[in-house]
Amino acid sequence: MRIKAFRKAHFNAAHRLYRKDWSDEKNLQIFGKCSNPKYHGHNYELVVGVIGDIDPETGYLIDLKILKDYIKTEVEDYMDHKNLNEEVLEFKDLNPTVENIAVVIWNRLRKKIASKFEIEVTLYETPRNFVTYKGE
Protein backbone atom coordinates (compact mmCIF):
# COMPACT_ATOMS: atom_id res chain seq x y z
CA MET A 1 0.00 0.00 0.00
CA ARG A 2 1.45 3.32 -1.11
CA ILE A 3 0.98 6.14 1.33
CA LYS A 4 2.39 9.62 1.86
CA ALA A 5 3.42 10.96 5.26
CA PHE A 6 4.17 14.60 6.00
CA ARG A 7 6.22 16.52 8.50
CA LYS A 8 6.02 20.29 8.87
CA ALA A 9 8.82 22.56 9.97
CA HIS A 10 9.66 26.23 10.11
CA PHE A 11 12.71 28.43 9.81
CA ASN A 12 13.52 32.11 9.49
CA ALA A 13 16.20 33.30 7.13
CA ALA A 14 17.47 36.41 5.39
CA HIS A 15 18.24 36.72 1.72
CA ARG A 16 18.81 39.00 -1.18
CA LEU A 17 17.79 38.13 -4.72
CA TYR A 18 20.15 39.61 -7.27
CA ARG A 19 22.64 38.90 -9.99
CA LYS A 20 26.14 40.22 -9.51
CA ASP A 21 26.42 40.97 -13.21
CA TRP A 22 23.33 43.21 -13.19
CA SER A 23 23.10 46.81 -11.97
CA ASP A 24 21.20 47.59 -8.76
CA GLU A 25 18.61 49.23 -11.00
CA LYS A 26 18.05 46.09 -13.08
CA ASN A 27 18.03 43.88 -9.98
CA LEU A 28 15.35 46.13 -8.46
CA GLN A 29 13.36 45.98 -11.67
CA ILE A 30 13.44 42.15 -11.81
CA PHE A 31 13.49 41.14 -8.14
CA GLY A 32 11.67 44.11 -6.57
CA LYS A 33 11.94 44.49 -2.80
CA CYS A 34 13.72 41.12 -2.57
CA SER A 35 16.77 42.76 -4.20
CA ASN A 36 17.31 45.12 -1.24
CA PRO A 37 21.13 45.23 -0.86
CA LYS A 38 20.70 45.28 2.93
CA TYR A 39 18.87 41.93 2.90
CA HIS A 40 15.48 41.11 4.46
CA GLY A 41 13.92 38.08 6.13
CA HIS A 42 11.17 35.58 5.50
CA ASN A 43 9.37 33.10 7.75
CA TYR A 44 9.66 29.92 5.72
CA GLU A 45 7.18 27.11 6.26
CA LEU A 46 8.33 23.72 5.10
CA VAL A 47 6.27 20.60 4.42
CA VAL A 48 8.21 17.44 3.64
CA GLY A 49 6.27 14.55 2.11
CA VAL A 50 7.60 10.99 2.07
CA ILE A 51 5.95 8.44 -0.23
CA GLY A 52 6.33 4.69 -0.02
CA ASP A 53 4.84 1.46 1.20
CA ILE A 54 3.57 0.73 4.69
CA ASP A 55 5.90 -1.70 6.46
CA PRO A 56 3.64 -4.63 7.35
CA GLU A 57 5.73 -5.40 10.39
CA THR A 58 5.50 -1.98 12.06
CA GLY A 59 2.56 -0.38 10.29
CA TYR A 60 4.82 2.62 9.65
CA LEU A 61 5.75 4.22 6.34
CA ILE A 62 8.77 5.86 7.96
CA ASP A 63 9.51 6.58 11.59
CA LEU A 64 8.48 10.24 11.75
CA LYS A 65 10.93 10.80 14.58
CA ILE A 66 13.76 10.00 12.14
CA LEU A 67 12.25 12.34 9.52
CA LYS A 68 11.97 15.03 12.19
CA ASP A 69 15.66 14.59 13.07
CA TYR A 70 16.77 14.82 9.42
CA ILE A 71 14.76 18.00 8.93
CA LYS A 72 16.30 19.43 12.08
CA THR A 73 19.91 18.72 11.09
CA GLU A 74 19.66 19.31 7.34
CA VAL A 75 17.32 22.30 7.27
CA GLU A 76 16.65 23.93 10.61
CA ASP A 77 20.14 23.79 12.09
CA TYR A 78 21.60 24.60 8.67
CA MET A 79 19.37 27.52 7.59
CA ASP A 80 17.46 28.90 10.56
CA HIS A 81 18.44 32.48 11.43
CA LYS A 82 21.05 32.47 8.68
CA ASN A 83 21.79 34.87 5.90
CA LEU A 84 21.29 32.45 3.01
CA ASN A 85 23.51 34.35 0.55
CA GLU A 86 26.39 34.75 2.97
CA GLU A 87 26.23 31.73 5.24
CA VAL A 88 24.75 28.81 3.30
CA LEU A 89 27.26 27.26 0.93
CA GLU A 90 24.75 26.23 -1.74
CA PHE A 91 23.77 29.87 -2.32
CA LYS A 92 27.24 31.21 -2.80
CA ASP A 93 26.56 31.39 -6.55
CA LEU A 94 22.86 30.50 -6.62
CA ASN A 95 20.02 32.98 -6.16
CA PRO A 96 18.15 32.00 -2.95
CA THR A 97 14.67 32.14 -4.48
CA VAL A 98 11.97 30.01 -2.89
CA GLU A 99 12.38 27.68 -5.89
CA ASN A 100 16.11 27.20 -5.38
CA ILE A 101 15.78 26.87 -1.60
CA ALA A 102 13.24 24.06 -2.11
CA VAL A 103 15.64 22.25 -4.47
CA VAL A 104 18.54 22.62 -2.03
CA ILE A 105 16.40 21.24 0.82
CA TRP A 106 15.27 18.32 -1.35
CA ASN A 107 18.89 17.50 -2.28
CA ARG A 108 20.02 17.60 1.35
CA LEU A 109 17.16 15.36 2.52
CA ARG A 110 17.57 13.01 -0.43
CA LYS A 111 21.07 12.15 0.81
CA LYS A 112 19.66 11.09 4.20
CA ILE A 113 16.31 9.44 3.51
CA ALA A 114 16.42 5.84 2.27
CA SER A 115 16.18 5.59 -1.51
CA LYS A 116 13.09 3.33 -1.33
CA PHE A 117 11.10 6.46 -0.45
CA GLU A 118 10.12 9.25 -2.84
CA ILE A 119 10.28 12.66 -1.27
CA GLU A 120 8.68 15.99 -2.05
CA VAL A 121 9.37 19.37 -0.57
CA THR A 122 6.81 22.15 -0.34
CA LEU A 123 8.19 25.49 0.77
CA TYR A 124 6.18 28.60 1.62
CA GLU A 125 8.02 31.91 1.43
CA THR A 126 4.84 33.77 2.42
CA PRO A 127 1.45 32.33 3.40
CA ARG A 128 0.37 32.74 -0.23
CA ASN A 129 3.56 32.03 -2.22
CA PHE A 130 4.89 28.49 -2.26
CA VAL A 131 6.50 25.88 -4.48
CA THR A 132 6.72 22.10 -4.55
CA TYR A 133 9.74 20.11 -5.76
CA LYS A 134 9.78 16.33 -6.26
CA GLY A 135 13.23 15.86 -7.76
CA GLU A 136 12.01 15.77 -11.36
Does position 34 interact with Ni ion (CB under 5 A)? The reply is yes
CB 126, min distance to Ni ion, A: 9
Residue among 122, 99, 101, 115 nearest 51 (CA): 115
* Part of the chain binding Ni ion (CB under 5 A), chosen from 18-26, 33-41, 61-69, 116-124: 33-41
Residue among 115, 117, 110 nearest 3 (CA): 117
CB 62, min distance to Ni ion, A: 32
Does position 13 interact with Ni ion (CB under 5 A)? The reply is no
Does position 62 interact with Ni ion (CB under 5 A)? The reply is no
* Part of the chain binding Ni ion (CB under 5 A), chosen from 27-35, 79-87, 93-101, 109-117: 27-35
Residues 121 and 102: beta-carbon distance below 8 Å: yes
DSSP 60: -
- Alpha carbon distance 72, 78 (integer Å): 8
What are the residues binding Ni ion (CB under 5 A)? 34
